[in-house]
Amino acid sequence: MDSLSQIVLGAATFALIKDHEIGKKALLYGAILGTIPDLDILINPFFNTIEQLAIHRGFSHSVFFSFLLSLLFGKLFALKYKTSFKSWFWASFLALFTHPLLDICTTYGTRILYPLNKSFFALDNVFVIDPLYTIWLLAGCITLLIIKNSNPNRITVIKYSLVLSTTYLLFGLFANLYVKNHFEKELKRQNIAYEKIKIVPTPFNTILWQGIIKTKEGFYFSDYSLFDSKETLNFHYEKNDVAFISKKMKIAELDPFFNFTEGFALARKENNKMMIYGTKFGPMGIENGKADFIFPLTFNEDGSYVLSQKKPDSFKKIIQNIFKRLKGN
């Protein structure tokens, strides 16, 4: 999830346990702890883009990292304030571990069991940036900064902000399941056989969803709004060069990329170069009968390859299309 969301979530969870003892300082400590797992990006300049995939949201996002660091910070806080280690440990653990738990909710996912399991886990119930999640925690933290430490309503404020933000995540989870069920019914009705299906939210909302359907020879893509009145889904199909992907999966250096795609890798030829896309975020758009994706892995004629992050031609146009489409068909 975005940095602001992680900061206010860390601040809120730490304050939930320690606000009554140290007041507004709890927000500061929690904000710092909630940011720590993402500091793995500081070493990105020393690695190429594929190696960065192997590092980011790895050990720093695992439950083991949160546990070990909580032991350290729990001890430091206990020594500083000369109070029980146990409560400081749990306050630190909540602020740290809710970071990867929130990341699991996004389509990007995270490796919460690293290094025992290097797979990405993702619930796909919220986009990586969603103001409707963040606003409740931000409002709660700002309120705690404004009102006095002696105000008896401080803990109530933080509880409400956590309940409301978590309720939004639960709504996204149930919406995902509902949309997935609708896609499965439509695929069956249209006699489309498939191997895997992934339902993901579009940016900044949990109303409009995209479906990524992997078949033996390609991918189907479609979208569905909770406000749609027409049940029929119109699918866009992309043929996949399965043989090319199978060949490239044998290259050990590309393991981080294929692990990141979670099996949703699409290969096709563009401008006389072979490209492999990680399609798990869904298409950025479909122009001239071809879907456009955010993470292209480009293979050059000499056998070299480079992973990049493709930026949309018009971000404004994408947002306009999303908000127009989410109103329903």
Give DSSP secondary structure letters for 214-240.
E-SSEEEEEEEETT-S------EEEE-
Percent of the chain with pLDDT over 70: 100
CA angle 178, 179, 185 (to 5 degrees): 95
Q: Is residue 121 helix, strand or coil? A: strand
Nearest alpha carbon to residue 208 among 112, 38, 328: 328
Count other C-beta atoms under 10 Å from residue 201's C-beta: 26
User: Measured between alpha carbons, how far is 211 from 220 in angstroms, rounded to an integer?
Assistant: 8
Q: Where does the pLDDT of residue 317 fall: very low under 50, low under 70, confident under 90, or very high at 90 and above?
A: confident
Query: What is the average pLDDT across 185-196?
Result: 97
Spans of all domains in the chain: 3-172, 190-325
Mean pLDDT (the chain, rounded): 95
Model pLDDT, residue 315: 79
> Rounded mean pLDDT of 236-242?
97
Mean pLDDT of 112-131: 96
Tell me, what's the pLDDT at 62? 97
Name the β-bridge partners of 189.
none
Strands, sheet with 265-270, edge to edge from the N-terminal-most edge strand: 265-270, 273-278, 295-299, 305-307
pLDDT band for position 25 (50/70/90)?
very high
Q: Is the separation of the CB atoms in 266 and 248 below 8 Å?
A: no
Burial class (CB in 10 A: 0-12, 13-18, 19+), 292: middle
Output the CA torsion sign for 270, 273, 274, 277: negative
Strand ranges, E, within the chain = 196-201, 208-214, 218-225, 236-239, 265-270, 273-278, 285-287, 290-292, 295-299, 305-307
Lowest-pLDDT choice from 4-13, 55-64, 74-83, 281-290: 281-290
- Is pLDDT at 313 greater than 90 in this prediction? no
- In the structure, what pLDDT confidence band is assigned to residue 271 with cuts at 50, 70 and 90? confident
- pLDDT at residue 178 tops 80: yes
- Three-state DSSP at 268 gives strand
Please, what sign has the CA dihedral across residues 64, 65, 70, 76?
positive
The mean per-residue pLDDT over the stretch 130-137 comes to 98
- Please give the model's pTM, rounded to 2 decimal places: 0.94
Residue 256 preceded by cis peptide, ω within 30: no
Residue 314 has pLDDT above 90, yes or no: no
- Residue 239: pLDDT above 80? yes
Question: What pLDDT score does 133 carry?
Answer: 98
Q: What is the pLDDT of residue 310?
A: 81
Model pLDDT, residue 289: 87
Give the per-residue pLDDT at 7. Answer: 98
Which residues lie below 8 Å from residue 117, measured CB to CB, with a gap of 6+? Answer: 111
- In the chain, the percentage of residues whose pLDDT exceeds 90 is 89
At 264, which amino acid appears?
F
Distance CA 280, CA 265 (A): 8
Q: How confident is the model over 66-77, as a mean pLDDT?
A: 98
pLDDT of residue 316 exceeding 90, the answer is no
